[in-house]
Structure 1
Amino acid sequence: MKAYAYIRVSTEEQATDGVSLDAQKAKVAAWADLNGYELAGVFMDAGISGTKADRPGLAAALSAVGKGDALVVYSLSRLSRSTKHTIEISERLDKAGADLVSISEKIDTTTAMQHKKAKGERVGAVPYGKALAGDGVALVDVPAEQEIIAEARRLHTAGLSLRKIAAVLAEKGFKARNGKVFAATQIQRMVA
């Protein structure tokens, strides 16, 4: 299992908070060692505010984390200063099959989510192509949506852009759950 550290400080915090990049990295390394994870990468943004969504270190960390991996931060405030952005990052990790760990807040989705995933249970929003089974826990395929996903993947393999795939699906009469044309971001999740 691999862990990826994301560490961040703003210039002001370096002077007043005392939680330096080295201190954050040491905390994450200790967590990884204690929990049997290989610390596979450390990504940082130095002197960049947590209110900025465009942070190269965070973007690289999110790109590196894959299924079964964990993104580990010293605290959620290092990840983002916006609750909405933190939730978006968490949902992105969930969709990638990765976990989020915040050492300070003692948030660790690795144990509970891995247990649920191993049992084939839902660990977030119900993805397109699936529905909740009668027990309200397990996921089952939705044949009509699976057909659309298969078509989107076929078009993607043929080299079409996400927007072109959305246009082709619209021409064929395929619509999203809300009855509207698929957005490029929805297509991206289908073909990922």
Structure 2
Amino acid sequence: MKMDQSGILRAIGYMRVSTDEQGDSGAGLAAQRAVVEAECARRGWTLVEVIEDVASGKTLDRPGMTRALGLLDARQADVLIAAKVDRISRSTLDFATLLDRAQRSRWALNVLDIGADLTTPAGEMFAQIVAVIAQYERRLIGQRTRDALAIRKAAGVQLGTVFRIPGEVVFRIAADYAAGAGLTAIARNLTAEGIPTARGGTEWRASTVQAVIRRVAENTADHE
């Protein structure tokens, strides 16, 4: 990464709210800015610009994000920093794509709530885990497509709904486990937040969390 003449990393702060989010909430622009500014001060980084979007997080196609990525690719900054991963994207696939772009273009991404910091070796390893999870989600999408086609070919026979764990939930479980959270604690938190299980239920068990982690580990081994 290229730094300024003093050897200090140059950061772009990125903030986003959707049109239906309250500005005074924990995800508000002011709250995100405060977290980003504090981290830049702590790390001794130069915050060269703060870019804001009022847009959906479903894709990366937003004016502010487009501008930020253009500056980073042009080597006008070294780091894109955001307070929370869902401010960057709500899609695991898009987030993995962004990590890949950062590595190819030789700039770093730092997302504070999940510890995704590509300025460190641990962050680079984290990026590899995200890539595996994204591949897992791609396979699930392919499976859903095949399931839908099979239902259409069943000549009106109702085969039922196939439930899957969304990629972002798999991503969260793997990240929490990597950060040291126990299986029971992860299950308890998912249950408390009302996140649906693979079968559409509301109660998570440690054994289910363990199965998700095992699947991620198997996919990681497949890609080594």
Give the TM-score normalised by structure 1: 0.55
Question: In the alignment, residue 101 of structure 1 is paired with which amino acid?
Answer: N
Q: Which has the higher helix share?
A: 2
In structure 2, the residue matched to 1:83 is 92
SS in 1 for 2:120: helix
Correspondence for 1:100 among 102, 109, 122: 109
Shift of 1:108: 1.1
Q: Per the alignment, do residues 49 and 112 of structure 1 end up closer, same or farther by CA in structure 2, a change over 3 Å counting? A: same
Stretches of structure 2 that go unaligned for 5 or more consecutive residues are: 1-8, 129-224
- How many angstroms apart in 1 are the aligned matches of 2:39 and 2:23? 25
The equivalent position to 1:59 in structure 2, one of 55, 66, 79, is 66
Q: Which amino acid aligns with 1:53?
A: L
Following TM superposition, by how much is the alpha carbon of 1:96 offset from its aligned partner in structure 2, in angstroms?
A: 1.2
Q: CA deviation at 1:88?
A: 0.7
CA distance in 1, matches of 2:33, 2:58: 21
In the TM superposition, 1:21-60 aligns within 5 A as: 21-46=29-54, 48-60=55-67
The amino acid across from 2:80 in the alignment is: L
- Aligned counterparts, 1:1-192, within 5 A: 1-14=9-22, 17-46=25-54, 48-66=55-73, 69-112=78-121
Q: Which has the higher strand share?
A: 1
Write the deviation string for residues 98-145 of structure 1: whole angstroms up to 9, x where unpaired.
Answer: 1111111122111228999xxxxxx97xxxxxxxxxxxxxxxxxxxxx
Q: 1:16 to 1:43 in 2, by over 3 A?
A: closer
Secondary structure of the equivalent of 2:114? coil
**CA shift at 1:16, angstroms?**
8.2
Deviations 1:62-87 (A, max 9, x none): 11125571110111100011100111
Distance in structure 2 (CA, Å) of the matches to 1:101 and 1:34:
13
Distance 1:11 1:94, change over 3 A: same
Between the two proteins, the alignment pairs up a number of residues equal to: 117
Unmatched 5+ stretches in structure 1:
117-122, 125-192
Stretch of structure 1 that moved more, 13-22 or 78-87 = 13-22
Aligned counterparts of 1:53 and 1:61: Cα–Cα separation in 2: 11
Code of the aligned partner of 1:98: W
The amino acid of 1:89's aligned partner reads L
CA contact (8 A) 2:58 2:89 kept: yes
Identity rate, percent: 33
1:6 Cα deviation from its structure 2 partner: 0.9
Q: Secondary structure at the match of 2:31?
A: helix
CA distance in 1, matches of 2:35, 2:21: 17
Counterpart of 1:62, as a letter, is L
Equivalent position SS for 2:14: strand
Query: Given that residues 59 and 91 in structure 2 are in contact (C-alpha distance below 8 angstroms), is that contact kept between their aligned partners in structure 1?
Result: no
Q: State the one-letter code of the partner of 2:101.
A: R
Alpha-carbon contact 2:108-2:118 (below 8 Å) kept: yes
